Structure 1
Amino acid sequence: MLYGHGDDGYRYDRQIIADFSTNVWYGGEPVGLKEYVFGRWSQVNRYPEVVAESLREKIARHHQISAGQVLVCSGTTESIYLVAQLFTGKRTTIVTPSFSEYEDACQLFDHEITYLNWQDALEIPRLKTDLVFICSPNNPTGLLFQDLQYWLKLNPQCLFAVDEAFIDFTWERNSVISLMKKFPNLLIMRSLTKTYAIPGLRLGYVLAHKDIFSQLIRIKQPWTVNAMALAAGDFIFDHFESIQPPVSQLLEDKRTFVQELSKIEALQIYKSDTHFFLGRTMVRNAAQLKEYLVEKHGLLIRDACNFRGLTRQHFRLATQSPESNEKIVNALREWQKLYY
């Protein structure tokens, strides 16, 4: 799906004061990253590393795994399409509702797709598929998937592609990376664009068993990660401990934000394990709510109707600064007075 994602404020003539439609950390890139990247501008005069070899080594050391288990990509989207290509024509399960690119990538490579509702997936069923795409924390619900270890054990014939793009925005940050040593049927996709607010640079990576890595690298295109993105990756892993966003404060702000939103009778707010969450308007629909918030208040939300399994009433919000959160709470109270 080329269109229909969040962060689409460019489509409006109205100035966007606060963007709740994107799950990217609102505080901007880490201090010093911009200067570091611009300082390596001369590298754009030459081709970048073919498969980001030096950054791959840094990521491997960070996670204490072999470099032969790390594949650097141009954002998680490239990772998704590579995995789908590797399983061309195979049977795939997608746990829904979730990121549309799993489905789009599978359709492009002629997969036989089965859709499994999140609640049914929690029952840990036996699967008759070759590949599973699951997002944890899930986009758009923000929920963490529990008991993945048991599911991996129950289905050794199936590769589980787990998208952890938002794992840094949870209290415990309990990645399933530690399970890789025990389960060769586990592949993890990580993003560097959300936590460090650089989605325009496109940077992420795959962690997988060496056999899966060797298959993926055979089909990967060269030079997909540009020199500026590689520079950003170097900076991130060279300064990792000192550049982490204040996630604990963000999640505390989210708690307050949700408490205020839950007082608005015209809305239903859903539980989430991260900084973003689903809501549902009890009047009109999410598209109309989105237009109202943009035109009247300069506030942007994510219309979530195009997530498989959701309705025209569903929308997604990502926690912003306390001041911005207060603005949209007041705007939504006004929405309730007008239409509820």
Structure 2
Amino acid sequence: MLQGHGDDAYRYPNQIIADFSTNVWYGGEPLGLKDYIFDQWATINRYPEVMAESLTEMVAAHHQLSSGQVLINNGTTETIYLIAQTFAGKKTTIVTPAFAEYEDACTLYQHQLTFLPWTAIAEQPALSTDLIFICNPNNPTGEVFPDLENWVKNNPQTLFVVDEAFIDFTYQMGSSISLINRYPNLMIMHSLTKAYAIPGLRLGYLVASESLIAEFRTKKQPWTVNTIALQAGKFIFENYEQIQIPLQQLLTDKKIFTETLSQNTALKIHQSATHFFLVETLKQDAAKLKQFLIEKHGLLIRDASNFRDLTPRHFRIATLSPEKNHLLIDALTEWKNLC
């Protein structure tokens, strides 16, 4: 899906003063990263490492894994398409609603697709497909599935592709990377762009068994991670403990935000375990609301109607600063009164 994601302010002539459509940390890149990258600027005069070998070693050491269990990629999207290519034509299940690129990548490589609603996974159903994609915490709902290990254990014939792009935005679960050495049918996709606010650099990694990573490497194109992204990754892991987002404050602000929004009778707020959450407009639809907010207030939300299993009334918003949150609260009150 080339169009229809969040953070699409570039498509509108209006000045956007607050972007609630992206679930990237609103506080910007870690302090010191910009200067660090500029100090490494001369590295762009040479080709980057073919497979981001030095960053691979750092990520592996961070997770106490071997370098053969880690593959650095040009964001999670490259990882998704690489997995879909490697297992072309397989029977694949996608837990929905979900990031559209799972379905798009699998369709491109002729997977036989089935879809499993998030509401059905609490029962941990037996699986009959070769792969299953699950985003945990989920995008766009912000829900978490805390008992993943038992489901993986009971379905050894199915490869679990778990997207942990938003693992840094919740306290309700920890990463499943610690399970990698126990379950050869588990793969974890991890993003380095959301919590560190560098989506423009495109950087992420895959953790899996050595045999799976070796297979992916035979399909991966060279030099997909540019030198600046590589340096950013090194900075992140060299300064990991000092640059984490203020999650407790962010989730406290989200609680206040959602409680205030819930007083608006034109909205239905959905609970989530992350800083972003789904909302339904009970008047008109999300597309019209999005246009109203852009044109009248310079505010951007994520029209979520193109997520499978959602409706034209669904939209997603992320928590920003309290000041910007109040701008949206006031604008949505105006929307309620006008409709």
TM-score by length of 1: 0.99
Say whether the 8 Å CA contact 2:69–2:208 is kept in structure 1.
Answer: yes
Aligned to 1:70: 70
CA distance in 2, matches of 1:128, 1:54: 39
- Kindly state the Cα deviation for residue 172 of structure 1 after the two structures are TM-superposed: 4.7
Aligned to 1:79: 79
- Kindly state the Cα deviation for residue 68 of structure 1 after the two structures are TM-superposed: 0.5
CA distance in 2, matches of 1:163, 1:87: 17
Aligned to 2:52: 52
CA distance in 2, matches of 1:181, 1:44: 36
Percent of residue pairs bearing the same amino acid type: 62
CA distance in 2, matches of 1:292, 1:203: 34
- Kindly state the Cα deviation for residue 98 of structure 1 after the two structures are TM-superposed: 0.6
CA distance in 1, matches of 2:231, 2:266: 46
CA distance in 1, matches of 2:47, 2:173: 35
Say whether the 8 Å CA contact 2:305–2:314 is kept in structure 1.
Answer: yes
* CA RMSD of superposed structures (Å): 0.7
Say whether the 8 Å CA contact 1:73–1:225 is kept in structure 2.
Answer: yes
Where in structure 1 are there 5+ consecutive unaligned residues?
none
Tell me the amino acid that sits aligned with residue 107 of structure 2.
Q
CA distance in 1, matches of 2:145, 2:38: 39
Aligned to 1:162: 162
Aligned to 1:8: 8
CA deviation string 1:155-192 (max 9, x = no partner): 10111000000000002551111111211110000000
Structure 1 window deviating more from structure 2 (158-167 vs 120-129): it is 120-129
CA distance in 1, matches of 2:39, 2:157: 47
Aligned to 2:125: 125
Tell me the amino acid that sits aligned with residue 67 of structure 2.
A
Aligned to 2:94: 94
Tell me the amino acid that sits aligned with residue 41 of structure 1.
W
Tell me the amino acid that sits aligned with residue 59 of structure 2.
I
Tell me the amino acid that sits aligned with residue 244 of structure 2.
Q
**3-state SS of paired residue (2:120):** helix
Say whether the 8 Å CA contact 1:122–1:146 is kept in structure 2.
Answer: no
CA distance in 1, matches of 2:13, 2:170: 35
Aligned to 1:262: 262
**3-state SS of paired residue (2:133):** strand
Aligned to 2:330: 330
Aligned pairs for 1:14-29 (under 5 A) are: 14-29=14-29
CA distance in 2, matches of 1:259, 1:180: 38
CA distance in 2, matches of 1:267, 1:201: 35
Q: How many residues align?
A: 339
Aligned to 2:185: 185
Aligned pairs for 1:123-162 (under 5 A) are: 123-162=123-162
- Kindly state the Cα deviation for residue 154 of structure 1 after the two structures are TM-superposed: 1.4
- Kindly state the Cα deviation for residue 225 of structure 1 after the two structures are TM-superposed: 0.1
Aligned to 1:38: 38
Aligned to 2:315: 315
- Kindly state the Cα deviation for residue 245 of structure 1 after the two structures are TM-superposed: 1.2
Tell me the amino acid that sits aligned with residue 329 of structure 1.
I
CA deviation string 1:58-113 (max 9, x = no partner): 00010111110000000000010011111101000000001000000000000000
Tell me the amino acid that sits aligned with residue 106 of structure 1.
C
Aligned to 1:236: 236
**3-state SS of paired residue (1:280):** strand
TM-score by length of 2: 0.99
Say whether the 8 Å CA contact 1:72–1:206 is kept in structure 2.
Answer: yes
**3-state SS of paired residue (1:181):** coil
- Kindly state the Cα deviation for residue 307 of structure 1 after the two structures are TM-superposed: 0.1
Where in structure 2 are there 5+ consecutive unaligned residues?
none
Say whether the 8 Å CA contact 2:146–2:172 is kept in structure 1.
Answer: no
Aligned to 1:292: 292
CA distance in 2, matches of 1:243, 1:74: 22
CA distance in 2, matches of 1:256, 1:42: 46
CA distance in 2, matches of 1:115, 1:121: 11
CA distance in 1, matches of 2:256, 2:30: 25
Say whether the 8 Å CA contact 2:269–2:279 is kept in structure 1.
Answer: yes
**3-state SS of paired residue (1:43):** helix
**3-state SS of paired residue (2:180):** helix
Aligned to 1:274: 274
Say whether the 8 Å CA contact 2:144–2:172 is kept in structure 1.
Answer: no
**3-state SS of paired residue (1:4):** coil
- Kindly state the Cα deviation for residue 121 of structure 1 after the two structures are TM-superposed: 1.8
**3-state SS of paired residue (1:122):** helix
- Kindly state the Cα deviation for residue 146 of structure 1 after the two structures are TM-superposed: 2.8
CA distance in 2, matches of 1:218, 1:336: 55
Aligned to 2:114: 114
CA distance in 1, matches of 2:59, 2:324: 35
